[in-house]
Amino acid sequence: MHQGQYLHAFIAATNRDLKKFDEPDTFDITRHPNPHVSFGFGIYYCIGAPMARLELQVALESLLERYPHMQLAGQNLEH
C-alpha cells in the first residue's frame, strides 16, 4: 500500500450461515457448538492461529484491566 490509498475490509458470510448458526448476527463467545471456519481446517489450518488467539487474549485482558468498568454504550446495537 502507498500513502493516501484506501483499504476496504469485508466480512465474509462464512461464519454467518443460517444453516450452521441459529443466530449468526449475535456475538456469543459461549456458542456451542461453534463450527466457525475462521482459521481454516485440516491441512489448510492457519499456522498463525495460536499467535492470533494469544494476541486477542492479551489485548482483552489489558483492555479490561485498564477499563474495569467498561460497558456497552447502548442495548440496541445493530450489525
pLDDT in tens, 23-51: 888 888 888 888 887 888 788 888 999 99
More confident residue, 75 or 66: 66
Q: Is this model's pTM higher than 0.75 or not?
A: no
For the chain, count helices (H), then strands (E): 1, 0
CA dist 17 and 25 (Å) reads 10
Q: Where residue 56 falls among pLDDT bands split at 50, 70, 90?
A: very high
Q: The C-alpha cell of 2 is what?
A: 502507498
- What's the confidence (pLDDT) of residue 73? 74
pLDDT at 74 over 80: no
Predicted local confidence at residue 52, as pLDDT: 92
Residue 21 phi, psi (nearest 5): -125, 130
